[in-house]
Amino acid sequence: MQPTTAFITGTSSGLGQALAETLLASGNRVYGCSRRASDLSGLRQVQCDLTDYTALPARLASLLSDLDRLDLVVLNAGILGRIEALHRLPMDEAKQIMEVNLWANKAVMDWLHDWGRPIGQVVMISSGASILGNKGWGGYALSKAGLNMLAKLYAHEFPETHISALAPGIIDTGMMDYLCEQADVEAFPALQRLRDARGTEAMPGPNRAAEKVLSVLPRLCEMPSGSFVDIRQLLDPKAYAKLYPGRA
Ligand SMILES: NC(=O)c1ccc[n+]([C@@H]2O[C@H](COP(=O)([O-])OP(=O)(O)OC[C@H]3O[C@@H](n4cnc5c(N)ncnc54)[C@H](OP(=O)(O)O)[C@@H]3O)[C@@H](O)[C@H]2O)c1
């Protein structure tokens, strides 16, 4: 992999931290942000709540203003919210998921647009949930479906940048602790697929998942800018066909 300058959101844990760690290990310059600090050595970072739209521009400026370009931006920060019937999900919880998973990414993209310097590739971390519509995934699924459209819409406004929304597959991060240990599998049967996959190759840890994401970056650029891509479509067509019958 060529040395890159990368900006990643959500670098304090999970996939974002693993992406940063992997890129740093191969000599890239990596810039990150999340509310908690990451202890990754070599990561240039700011602590920042991406939904604090008043503070965000100054935090991004202090982090990135010395750069003359970014090769890669990964909009990875996200929250799951509760697995719950949509009609029982309180409006404030639904709005908070949308705030982090959708509107905060608009705020970052708007800042990058004003920044005006070249950006090679933007990857927005989406989810299979954005199109599956499984019972209980309401707030999260809506926010990730919105993110897919955000990628498509910003493709018009960043004509020199390749943008994609990427479902990274299931990953054994903190999100899985809730999905596999606490959420109600009787009420929400789609949880069973995750529980069956945990501890198997079908659910890699964050470092393996990060390697996979980084390995598909060139292939994403072969698709039209703005596309939604599920990583299983590229790396594991059998799993993809099983997950999305009729789409393979
Ligand atoms: N795990 C999976 O199976 C899976 C599958 C499909 C898609 N994804 C997506 O992958 C991405 C990473 O998730 P993960 O599994 O790695 O979960 P994670 O370990 O919970 O990581 C989420 C990251 O987002 C950051 N974040 C959350 N809210 C934020 C806010 N308001 N401001 C700034 N940063 C914020 C968190 O940092 P702080 O808490 O320190 O702010 C953390 O670094 C998410 O977009 C998720 O939807 C995950």
Round the average pLDDT of the chain to a whole number and report it: 96
229: containing domain: 5-233
Query: Per the domain annotation, does 238 fall within a domain?
Result: no
φ, ψ for residue 162, nearest 5 deg: -90, 125
Look at residue 7 and tell me whether its pLDDT is greater than 90.
yes
Please report whether residue 34 resides in a domain.
yes
Q: Are 27 and 91 in contact (CB under 8 A)?
A: no
Contact assessment for residue 163 and residue 113, using Cβ atoms and an 8 Å cutoff: no
Cα–Cα distance for residue pair 123/75, rounded to 1 Å: 6
Please indicate, yes or no, if residue 240 is contained in any of the structural domains: no
Closest residue by Cα to residue 135 from 97, 90, 184, 195: 184
| Residue having the nearest C-alpha atom to atom 36 of ligand 1 | 10
Ligand 1 site, residue 38, Cβ cutoff 6 A:
no
CB of 226 closer than 6 angstroms to any ligand 1 atom? no
Res 3 pLDDT > 80? no
Q: What is the rounded distance in angstroms from the CA atom of residue 77 to the CA atom of residue 11?
A: 8
The answer to whether residues 100 and 125 touch, using CB atoms and an 8 Å cutoff, is: no
* Residue 26: inside a domain: yes
Give residue for tokens 């970014």.
70
Residue 246 lies in a domain: no
If you measure from the C-alpha of residue 78 to the centroid of ligand 1, how many angstroms do you get, rounded to a whole number?
4
Among 76, 124, 198, which is best to mutate for testing ligand 1, by the most ligand atoms less than 8 A from CB? 76
Number of domains the chain contains: 1
CATH classification of the domain holding 34:
3.40.50.720
Whole-angstrom Cα distance, residue 167 to residue 148? 10
Residues 6+ apart with CB under 8 A from 174: 13, 14
Q: Is residue 123 part of a domain?
A: yes
Higher per-residue pLDDT: 248 or 93: 93
Q: 99-136 pLDDT, tens per residue?
A: 999 999 999 999 999 999 999 999 999 999 999 999 99
Asked if pLDDT for residue 247 goes beyond 80, the answer is: no
pLDDT score recorded for residue 245:
81
Query: Quick one: pLDDT band at residue 242, thresholds 50, 70, 90?
Result: confident
pLDDT of residue 239: 87
Is 242 domain-assigned? Answer: no
- In a domain? residue 109: yes
Ligand 1 proximity of 175 Cβ (cutoff 6 Å): yes
pLDDT for residue 41 is more than 70? yes
User: Burial level of 63, CB count in 10 A (0-12/13-18/19+)?
Assistant: middle
Mean pLDDT along residues 148-153: 98
Return the ∠ at Cα 239 (arms to 1 and 210), rounded to 5°: 30
